[in-house]
Amino acid sequence: TDIQGTVEFKNVSFRYPDGQSNVLQNISFKVNKGETVAFIGSTGCGKTSLVNLITRFYDATSGEVLVDGYNVRDYKKDELSRKIGYVSQKAVLFSGDIQSNINFGDNDADISAIEKAISISQSEEFVKLQKNGLEAHVAQGGQNFSGGQKQRLSIARALARKAEIFIFDDTFSALDYKTDKILRNALKTKMKDSTCIIVAQRIGTIIDADQIFVIDNGEIVGHGTHKELLNTCDTYKEIAQS
């Protein structure tokens, strides 16, 4: 149905349990099924805090966060996490092998799904170089992989899920511009029916997004497409010129 793959914030404010003041203030937006939506804004403006309310790492202090039309608080934990493929800002790898890292938690993708995820995430070239391929050793914290390789493996992990909503928290800034571009094209093809929420630092990463939200100091200060925002949002213009 049309409600599947939607995310909506209704007047959401958020203060960390140990915090003094709101880090998000009256946030409202709607992401439709299959859309690619981006959040951009300077460091510390609240982007990670915002996406963490969708996954329920934290709960909104006031207002409502809806996934598929239902308040996220009304889902069982595993029910919500099954709907969402999430790539955190800091790629996390565990000691084990590549396959177990992709198939971690409640993920139980088969080999062909894993291989597909490896391919789309542009991990194939460096996974192939490993003597044992998918069984190659991963050290604690993924120390034997570069930052960009870790990022790509954590993208593969999210892609191996049959999620309807994907969240990429600043996932592409650890990649060089060329890899960023190739990867986003591959994602576009793979995810044409999935909803995609991208937190970004570079304008180039989000230029094609259906909707872009500009965040400043916990508030939405601009909303539109790239072209629209260049005409309507000073903060966006500043980011574009930097």
173 binds Mg ion (CB under 5 A): no
173 binds ligand GTP (CB under 6 A): no
Of the pair 109, 199, the CB lying nearest Mg ion is at 199
Q: By CB under 5 A, name the one of 48, 144, 217, 225 that touches Mg ion.
A: 48
Q: How many CA atoms lie within 13 A of 75 on its CB side?
A: 20
Sheet holding 84-87, edge to edge: 84-87, 165-169, 195-200, 36-40, 211-216, 219-224
46 binds ligand GTP (CB under 6 A): yes
Number of residues that bind Mg ion (CB under 5 A): 3
48 binds ligand GTP (CB under 6 A): yes
Extract the tokens encoding 58. 């934290």
Q: What is the per-residue burial (b if ≥16 Cβ within 10 Å, else e) of 139-162?
A: eeebeebeebbbbbbbbbbbbbbe
What is d(CA 127, CA 145) in angstroms, rounded to the nearest whole number? 10
Q: Which of residues 56-95 bind ligand GTP (CB under 6 A)?
A: 89
Q: By CB under 6 A, name the one of 6, 9, 12, 47 that touches ligand GTP.
A: 47
CB of 87 to ligand GTP, least distance (A): 13
Of the pair 57, 94, the CB lying nearest ligand GTP is at 57
**Span from 12-20, 69-77, 184-192, 222-230 in contact with ligand GTP (CB under 6 A):** 12-20
Q: Which does 45 bind (CB under 5 to 8 A by kind): ligand GTP, Mg ion, none?
A: ligand GTP
Tokens 């230029």 map to which residue?
207
What is d(CA 173, CA 201) in angstroms, rounded to the nearest whole number? 7
* CA angle, residues 34, 197, 163, in degrees to nearest 5: 60
Q: By CB under 6 A, name the one of 19, 69, 141, 147 that touches ligand GTP.
A: 19
Helix (H, G, I), strand (E, B) or coil at 12: strand
Longest dimension (CA), the chain: 53
Of the pair 18, 108, the CB lying nearest ligand GTP is at 18
What is d(CA 215, CA 197) in angstroms, rounded to the nearest whole number? 14
**Span from 1-9, 16-24, 65-73, 120-128 in contact with ligand GTP (CB under 6 A):** 16-24
Convert residues 78-107 into a mask of x (bound to Mg ion by CB under 5 A) and - (unbound): -----------x------------------
The residues of the shown chain that bind ligand GTP, judged by CB under 6 A, are 16, 18-19, 23, 41, 43-49, 89, 170
